Amino acid sequence: MPLSNLSDLPSFRREWDVLLECASPGFDARRLAELARSADWSRLLVLAEEHSVLGHLAVRLGGLEENLVPAEIMQILMEHHRNQIFSTLGITAELFRLLEVFAANDIPALIVKGPSLAMQAYGEPTMRSYGDLDFLVRQRNIRRATESLQAAGFQATVPLSAIDAGNIPGQYLFCKTDTKLIVELHNDFTLRYFPRPLPIEEFFTRQIRVCLDGREAPTLSVEDQLVLICIHGAKHLWERLIWIADVAALVSRQTGMDWARARASAKAVRAEHLLHTGLRLAADVLHAHLPEDVYALVRQDALAAKLVARILRWLPGAGHTPPALFERVAFRLRMRGGLLAAPAYLLRLSLSPTEEDWQAGGEISHNQLLDRLRRPFRLARKYGRGGKDSD
C-alpha cells in the first residue's frame, strides 16, 4: 500500500482497529481474532511499521489460534521480532559499556526512554523497538561526555567548537558507523519543549534502578518518566501510536504509581495539560485503566480535551497527514495554555535556535542573535510545505 494512502482512514479502518487492539494493554484476544479475520495483511504490516508497533503486532498475533494469520505474514513478524531481540541485546551491551565510560570519567548519567522505558512499561526490553540510547547529562558535563564518547568510537554531530561557543542543539547526537547506533545526550537546556526548564537536579535525586539483562541501570523515576514521555509525545504532536501505547503500558503496569508525585512533577514544569493529554489518549484510544480520581481530573481538563480532538484527526496517518503551519502553531499555543504563558512559550520555541539554525550552510555560526532571528523564517519554510516535526 502506498504510504500516501495512510491519509485515507476509511480505506484501512479494519487494520487500524486491529492495531489499536494489539497496542492496548488490556487487549481482548477474542476480539482481536475477529478483527484479524477481515484485515488486509499487507496494509496492516505497513500501518504497524509506520506507527512503530510491529513488536506489539508480533506478540499479540503470535498468541492467536493457529492458521488464523497467514504463514508468510507470521514469518515476517517473527523475523522482525527475532531481529528486535538481537538488536536489543546489542544495544543493552553497549548501554552498560557507555555507563562504564561515563562512570570512569565522573559523568553522572540517567537512561531516559529506550530500554528503561521498555522495562518499566512492558516488563521486557524486546516488546518495544528502539535504535538509539538517550541519556540525561548535566550541561556542565557535556564537553567531557563528548570527549569520552569520541574516545569510545562515536562521531559527534555537535563539535567541541560549538559547545565551547555556547551553542545549544536540540540534542547532543553521536553515531557509530560500524553498529549504526545513535546516542543522544539531553538536559534542561536541550529539552526545550518542556514549558519550563526541566528540574534536572530533582530528576537525578529521584532516580531509580531498573534491571536490564540481569544488571541494574540508573533511570528516571516512573513518575518523571511518565511526564517526560507525555511531553515528548506532545512535541511530536502524538503522530504515532507507539507514543500513546507507551503511556498506556506504563500506567497499566506500574500499579504503584504515585499519582500525587506525577502531578507535582508535571506542575513543576507547567505541563499539567500535556500530562492530561497523554493520559486521556491512553485511556480513550487504548482503554488504559486509570484510577477513578485521576481519570475524573483528566476529564475535567477542557484544554486537554481540545488537544486530543485535534490529535485524533491526524493520528491514524502516522505523520503522513501533518497539520498545516497555522494548525501547528495553534496546537503549540494550546499545549502551554494561558493568555500570557502560551504566547511566551511559542515565542521561546520560535526563537531558540537548534543545530539546524546555527549549522546552516555547513558552517557553525557564532552569532546567536542572528540565529534567533533566522529561525522563525526557517520554520515557516519547513512546515509551510508540510515538513515533519524534528525541532
> What is the 3 state secondary structure string of the chain?
CCHHHHHCHHHHHHHHHHHHHHHCCCCCHHHHHHHHHCCCHHHHHHHHHHCCCHHHHHHHHHCCCCCCCCHHHHHHHHHHHHHHHHHHHHHHHHHHHHHHHHHHCCCCCEEECHHHHHHHHHCCCCCCCCCEEEEECCHHHHHHHHHHHHHCCCEECCCHHHHHCCCCCCCEEEEECCCCEEEEEECCCCCCCCCCCCCHHHHHHCCEEEEECCEEEEECCHHHHHHHHHHHHHHCCCCCHHHHHHHHHHHHHCCCCCHHHHHHHHHHCCCHHHHHHHHHHHHHHHCCCCCHHHHHHHHHCHHHHHHHHHHHHHHHHCCCCCCCHHHHHHHHHHHHCCCCHHHHHHHHHHCCCCHHHHCHHHCCCCCHHHHHHHHHHHHHHHHHCCCCCCC
Residue 14 counted as domain residue = yes
Residues 60 and 117 in one domain: no
Residue 240 counted as domain residue = no
Domain-ending residue, one of 154, 188, 220: 220
Domain-ending residue, one of 35, 69, 103: 69
Residue 357 counted as domain residue = yes
Residues 45 and 105 in one domain: no
What pLDDT, on the 0 to 100 scale, is given for residue 349?
54
What pLDDT, on the 0 to 100 scale, is given for residue 338?
55
Residues 62 and 157 in one domain: no
Quote the pTM value: 0.86
Residue 208 counted as domain residue = yes
Residues 144 and 202 in one domain: yes
Residues 115 and 183 in one domain: yes
Residue-number span of the structural domain to which 167 is assigned: 91-220
Domain-ending residue, one of 187, 220, 253: 220
Domain count, the chain: 3
Residues 95 and 146 in one domain: yes
Residues 61 and 102 in one domain: no
Residues 99 and 153 in one domain: yes
Q: 16-30 burial, b if ≥16 CB within 10 A, otherwise e?
A: bbbbbbbbbbebeee
Splitting the chain (391 residues) into consecutive groups of 10 residues, what average pLDDT does each group show? 52 89 93 92 92 92 83 90 88 94 98 94 84 94 97 93 86 87 92 86 97 93 97 93 97 96 95 96 97 96 93 88 76 64 56 59 57 55 52 45
Residue 185 counted as domain residue = yes
Residues 32 and 133 in one domain: no
Residue 226 counted as domain residue = no
Residue 281 counted as domain residue = no
Residue 286 counted as domain residue = no
Residues 65 and 95 in one domain: no
CATH code of residue 150: 3.30.460.40
Residues 28 and 146 in one domain: no
Residues 99 and 211 in one domain: yes
What pLDDT, on the 0 to 100 scale, is given for residue 25?
94
